[in-house]
Structure 1
Amino acid sequence: MLNIGCHLSISDGYYKAAKKAVSIGANTFQFFTRNPRGGKAKDIDLEDIENLKEVINKNSFAALFAHGAYTMNLCSNKERTRNFAKMILKDDLERLKEIPSSYYIFHPGSHVGQGTEKGIELIVEGLNEAITEDNNTTILLEGMSGKGSEVGRNMEELKAIIDGVKHNKNMGICIDTCHLYSSGFDIVNDLDGVLDHIDSILGLDKVKAVHLNDSKMPFASNKDRHEVIGAGTIGKDAIIRIINHPKLKDLTFNLETPNELDGYKEEIEMLRQAYRY
């Protein structure tokens, strides 16, 4: 079974988001844990969560994707911004204890001219403050496209972060097809080679989730511009090869394409029809 969903708003609650996912043929969805451009988080309604659990169990949902706010920069050059990021991270992990079967995914951060090594050091410091020995949430670093001073543009940087975290048994990565392609991993012409590279540096067992997106930009552009499946430089055929690859087919995929609900439904239907397992 193809585990696939898309990004949905939880402004009306988790239950309604889950019902919306089911209505378009999805068996998971991604949501922002709080205002993605700010810091405010909606209070958790325990009755809403119970209703969410019913939908999840009835429809054989895969893990949900809880996406951290874009404002969370653990390696900022400003201490105030780093402290804000740590507060968000700790609060998100606490809140996710109430939400069933979810991965916590976030952008590692931007070092803002301090250098990648310093950026990694600060990210590790923040994660070590937030992740306790009893943490049971799967925490995933998102691989980035490499624009500006982003940290996490290659497997070596992602590995260095994970290796630096003391309680890292539940840590891994989320690969984004647009980001991978933009950062110079040729998933169109050499998918096997890309996966072999990931395996040699990190281990493919660390790849827990996939953001499935086409790209508006050319290969190795280091630009993060998502496109609907089949309308970009990656192309429909390459995306279909990804969901059907023996080493990836059992992962959970979420679309972040520039679409409304009807567009997501069409993409999900197309991908389900193309899935061979």
Structure 2
Amino acid sequence: MLNIGCHLSASKGYESMGKDAIKIGANTFQFFTRNPRGSKAKEIDKNDMEALLEIIRKNKFTAILGHAPYTLNPCSADENIREFTTKIMAEDLGRMEYLPNNFYNFHPGNHVKQGAEVGIKYIVNMLNTILRPEQTTIVLLETMAGKGTEVGCRFEELKQIISDVDLSDKMGVCFDTCHVYDAGYDIVNDLDGVLDEFDRIIGLDKLYAIHLNDSKNPFASHKDRHEKIGKGYIGKEAIIKIINHPKLRHLPFILETPNELSGYGEEIKMLREAYRK
């Protein structure tokens, strides 16, 4: 079965996200753990969480993803921003345990001209502060497009972070198709080569989820602008190869395309029809 869903809003509650996922034929989804452009988080409603867990169990969902807000930057040059990021992410990991055995995804951050090596050290320090041996949540580093001073547009940078984290068994990667294509990994013409490179540097055992997006910009543009499936430079044919690839087809695929709920439903239907059983 194709494990596919999209990014859903938690504004109406957790149970509501589960119902929306079912409505569009999804069996996974992603949500922001709090305001994506701020830091405010709703109070935990245990009954709401339990209702979502029941939907997940009843409908045999695969793992879901919590996504950190965009305001976080664990490798900022500003110590106050780094401390704020550490506090928020620690809180988020605590909240994720109400939905055990799932994923928490975050953007590694911007080193703001300090250099990638300095940025990586800050990210590792934060992760070593907040990760706990008893947590059930796997923390995912998202592959980035490489705009500005982003950390994580090269597989080597993600590998260094994971290797230097004490609890590396709690770490993994979320592979964003738009980002890696924009970063200069040719998943259209050489998907096998890109996956071999990922496996050699990081290890495919560390690949836990895929953000499935087309790109508004051409190869190696370092722009990071998502497009609807089949409407961008990656194209429908390459996306279909990705969901059917033997090294990827078992993973959860999360659509972050510029869509409303009905548009996501149409993309999910199209991709399910293209998935080879």
Normalization by structure 2: what TM-score? 0.99
Give 1:42's aligned residue.
Answer: 42
Q: What percentage of residue pairs aligned between the two structures are identical?
A: 61
CA contact (8 A) 2:101 2:138 kept: no
Residue type of the alignment partner of 2:156? E
Instruction: Tell me by how many angstroms 1:163 deviates.
Output: 0.8
Q: CA deviation at 1:53?
A: 1.3
Please tell me the residue identity of whatever aligns with 2:131.
Answer: I
- Structure 2: how far apart are the matches of 1:132 and 1:96? 13
Deviations 1:200-236 (A, max 9, x none): 1011111110000000000000110000000000000
**How many Å apart are 1:256 and its aligned residue?**
0.1
What is the root-mean-square deviation in Å for CA atoms of aligned residues?
A: 0.7
Aligned mates of 1:38, 1:270 — CA distance in 2: 34
Residues paired across the two proteins, number: 277
- CA deviations on 1:4-43 (whole Å, 9 max, x unpaired) are 0000101111101110110000011100000111111111
Match of 1:259 in 2: 259
Distance 1:257 1:239 in 2: 13
Matched residue SS, 2:254: strand
Higher mean displacement: 126-135 or 261-270: 126-135
**One-letter identity of the residue aligned with 1:251:** L
Partners of 2:246 and 2:274 in 1: CA distance: 14
Q: Is the 8 A contact 1:53 1:100 kept in 2?
A: no
Shift of 1:58: 1.2
For residue 4 of structure 1, what is the amino acid of its counterpart? Answer: I
Aligned twin of 2:162: 162
Aligned equivalent of 1:129: 129
Partner of 2:179: 179
* Matched position secondary structure for 2:210: strand
Q: Tell me how far 1:133 sits from its aligned partner.
A: 2.3
CA distance in 2, matches of 1:104, 1:187: 25
CA contact (8 A) 1:76 1:112 kept: yes
Task: Indicate the SS of the match to 1:35.
Answer: coil
State the match for 1:203 in structure 2.
203
Kept in 2: contact 1:183–1:222 (CA 8 A): yes
AA aligned opposite 1:220: A
**Residues of 2 paired with 1:64 and 1:133: CA distance?**
21
Q: Counterparts of 1:187 and 1:91 in 2: how far apart (Å)?
A: 35
**In structure 1, distance between residues paired with 2:53 and 2:129:** 30
Q: Is 1:30 aligned to residue 30 of structure 2?
A: yes
Say whether 1:3 aligns with 2:18. no
Are the equivalent residues in 1 in contact too, given 2:145–2:153 (CA < 8 A)? yes
| Amino acid in the other structure paired with 2:145 | S
Report the secondary structure of 1:47's partner residue.
Answer: helix
Deviations along 1:163-189, whole A, 9 cap, x unmatched?
A: 111011121100000001000000000
Distance (Å, rounded) in 2 between the aligned partners of 1:204 and 1:101: 19
Matched, 1:234 2:269: no
Query: Is the 2:178–2:225 contact (alpha carbons within 8 Å) kept by the matching residues of 1?
Result: yes
Q: Aligned to 1:72, what secondary structure does the other structure show?
A: coil
* 2:146 counterpart residue number: 146
Code of the aligned partner of 1:237: E
* Partner Cα distance (2:53, 2:101) in 1: 9
1:186-225 map, 5 Å: 186-225=186-225
CA displacement at 1:72 relative to structure 2: 1.1
Helix, strand or coil at the partner of 1:180: helix
Distance between the aligned counterparts of 2:102 and 2:214, measured in 1?
24
Unaligned runs of 5+ in 1: none
Q: CA deviation at 1:74?
A: 0.5
| Cα distance, 1:99 vs structure 2 | 1.4
Is the Cα contact below 8 Å between 2:131 and 2:170 reproduced in 1? no
